[in-house]
Amino acid sequence: SITLTSPRGTRLTFRDGIFIGNEFHASQAGQDGKITVFNPATGQELCKVTAGGKEDVDAAVEAAEEALKTSWGLKSTPAERGALLYKWADLIEQNASELAELEAMDNGKPRWMAKDFDIADSIACLRYYAGLADKVSGKTIEMKDGDNFAFTRVEPIGVTGAIIPWNYPIQMAAWKLGPALAAGNCLILKPAEQTPLSALKLAELAAEAGYPPGVLAVINGYGKDVGAAISEHPRIRKVAFTGSTVTGRKIMASSAHSNLKKVTLELGGKSPVLVFDDVDIEEAVPWVALAILFNMGQDCCAGSRLFVQRGIHDAFIAKLIEAFKAHKIGDPFDDTSSHGPQVSKEQYEKIMSYIEYGKKGGAKVAYGGGRAEAAAKGDLAGGYWVEPTIFTGCQKGMRIVDDEIFGPVLAVIPFDTEEEAIEMANDTEYGLAAGIFSTGASRCMRVLAALKAGTIWVNNYALLSNAVPFGGYKQSGMGRELGVDAIKEWTEVKSVHWNI
Ligand code: NAD
């Protein structure tokens, strides 16, 4: 096992290895691979963890198939599966403080946010699907002839995979594990290589909860090794992915070339936020700031394109700058921080290069525009600190307007009419989310119907509920997570015609 000491002095112990059959093993991939894990707040190495490969995915599939034959899938009852999810959620809750510290060290997000948002929501998500497990049923269908009747059974898919990103490590795991396990599937989880730690702890707690061996596998490793092995595997029947659109395409192509496994994709975004001139500026500004700054802008729903109606543009931006100034960047272990470092050196450099593109491309830096020097002091000097940044005077064709930056960088574009705002907002290949700020109910209804996005926030932003479906239009994804309907993405429907 590995023990880290957090900046609070807490000893955080977790097991390392390839988690298959409720035990942690050495990798069978023969590459002796290790992932070096960095603390984003300091840039220092935290530890090294085992990186797996194709042979480990093969072993996980074998273990999963065995579980489906003996104790899981159709050999388990929905109520049993619900009870296990409740038990696991309870154990996560009991370990929430340690998990939050681990997540803060691994990912860089403020500790309190990891605890109050990511982990609290993950526990709620597992409980939501625990409650749903025994409420999934097929239907009986009346046939006209009277000699036959038909019914449907809702069955688990079988062996499934999940490939998740680094921005919400525990939460992205929970969104997939909840419905997958409630429905009776076995799941092979590949965490992101930037944030491999919390999933190891979750695996340990799953074994403690009493899951039969083989139901859950956690295989850390790189996308090109473990991720590719999952998406290419001929006996994995579904893969759920959250991450970049580029990788989503690769996963879909692998599915097509291997066994046409079902694919659900939650991909990138360049979400528009539309602010009309009838708003109460004071009320709208905190939401608009949150839309881009939440999770350091590392959010697929980040409201990164801001369209402001010309009449209030300058007044709105002046207030928005005040809100950015009040946003406290600093140590993830200081509970007054609302903003930590970016997750990795690579992401830091990518965002900084976009800030340069913005400057060179003719946009005006209205706020920020560099390294967050105020945070980068003492032990944190080597951290990946980016200043929240507002660019005004932006237009289509600038890279900061067209590309997903995945950082705290906002591009502002003025507009005159509702039609113009809708057209510009929809002028993207993404379609994950959008925000509308207006006090006109009819306008809100018109605009929300016209926007091509899977989630629309009206006079708020970034609210999510386990009961509400989530997913993207266009190249932001396929399928939906969360809510009752997510179960459909993790089950097969069998139709039976019976001659009576
Ligand atoms: P990524 O999509 O490459 O990584 C996400 C997951 O996919 C990781 O677990 C990774 O190991 C895995 N992966 C990578 N290549 C794979 C492959 N060929 N086959 C199977 N799995 C593979 O994202 P990234 O490189 O970490 O970040 C790059 C950009 O992606 C970010 O700047 C951001 O724009 C976007 N992103 C989006 C989200 C989101 O929630 N939508 C999350 C993270 C990153």
pTM for the full predicted model: 0.98
Per-residue pLDDT tens digits for 309-359: 999 999 999 999 999 999 999 999 999 999 999 999 999 999 999 999 999
Nearest to 78 by CA among 172, 179, 205: 179
Question: CB–CB of 119/172 below 8 Å?
Answer: no
pLDDT, mean over the chain? 97
> What are 411-447's pLDDT values in tens digits?
999 999 999 999 999 999 999 999 999 999 999 999 9
Ligand 1 closest atom vs CA 268: 41
Q: How far is the CA of 79 from the centre of ligand 1 (A)?
A: 35
Is residue 349 part of the annotated active site? The answer reads: no
Q: How confident is the model at residue 147 (pLDDT cuts 50, 70, 90)?
A: confident
Write out pLDDT tens, residues 281-314.
999 999 999 999 999 999 999 999 999 999 999 9
Q: Is the pLDDT of residue 490 over 80?
A: yes
**Could you tell me the two tokens for 417?**
């009419």
Mutate to test the pocket of ligand 1, among 247, 255, 430 (most ligand atoms within 8 A of CB): 247
What whole-number distance in Å separates Cα of residue 159 and Cα of residue 60? 9
**Structure confidence at residue 234 (pLDDT):** 98
Question: Percent of the chain scored above 70 by pLDDT?
Answer: 100
Ligand 1 neighbours by CB, cut-off 6 Å: 163-167, 190, 192-193, 222-224, 227-228, 231, 242-244, 247, 250-251, 266-268, 300, 347, 350, 404, 406
Percentage of the chain modeled with pLDDT above 90:
97
Contacts of 89 (CB under 8 A, 6+ apart): 123, 126, 127, 130
Please give the angle made by the CA atoms of 208, 211 and 213, to the nearest 5 degrees: 105
The mean per-residue pLDDT over the stretch 212-231 comes to: 98
Rounded to an integer, the average pLDDT of 480-498 is: 97
Consecutive H or E run containing 34: strand 34-38
Catalytic residue among 101, 103, 193, 266: 266
Distance 165 CA to ligand 1 centre (A): 6
H helix intervals, 7-140: 54-70, 78-94, 96-107, 111-113, 120-132
> What number is the average pLDDT over the span 389-418?
98
ipTM for the whole predicted complex goes beyond 0.90:
yes
CA pair distance 338, 293, nearest whole angstrom? 9
Nearest C-alpha neighbor of 158 from the set 229, 30, 67: 67
